[in-house]
Amino acid sequence: MEQKHITIDDLDFELLISHRQIDRRIAELAEQISADYQGKVPILVGVLNGAVIFLSDLIRKLKVECEIDFIKISSYGSKRVSSGAITMIKDFSADLHGRDVLVVEDIVDSGLSVSYLKKRIESMKPASIKFVSLLVKKGCAVVPLNIDYVGFEIENKFVVGYGLDIAQKKRNLNAIYQVKE
């Protein structure tokens, strides 16, 4: 059972989404994705580092064959707010031409990363491209967003756990916590 309150680097956090809620929602997303990709073999592209845990749990619940690849971009560095500038750290390994691509994000806020990834993948001429994000922050988009599969919509607060970090730490928490204000 997860704690209701935690303290990290003198910041107080409260439980936002329990591990049980996350697990249940991922099962629902996997059902929907499996139905949508029936008869296809999508390639799921995890956006490192944050999406690793979500991607791992999601693919184990899928009922269709799939492949995985990873890309690593950054717009945060060690800060709690996006700089707005996207930096490519690790590019795709797979050839996405003609493939059904499902980009797996941990969290979407401004939409700048999603916009960058969409343009980058579209240049590779995939058969299709969709996005799944465990979390989407309400009212934060600075570019139009189309997230095809959303785990949870949350308020615009800093969150940590279940892949989400604070200065690369606390990704291993099995629930999601939001900073108390």
Whole-number Å distance between alpha carbons of 143 and 149: 18
Q: Return the SS3 of 94.
A: coil
Active site residues: 109
CATH, residue 44 = 3.40.50.2020
pLDDT of 84-93, one tens digit each?
678 888 888 8
Q: For residue 75, what are the domain limits?
A: 5-179
Which stretches of the chain drop beneath a pLDDT of 50?
Answer: none
**In this structure, are strands 5-8 and 149-154 parallel, antiparallel, or unpaired?**
unpaired
Whole-number Å distance between alpha carbons of 87 and 83: 10
- For residues 134 and 151, the answer to whether their CB atoms sit within 8 Å is yes
Question: What global pTM score does this model have?
Answer: 0.91
Total domains in the chain come to 1
- The pLDDT of residue 1: 67
- The pLDDT of residue 10: 86
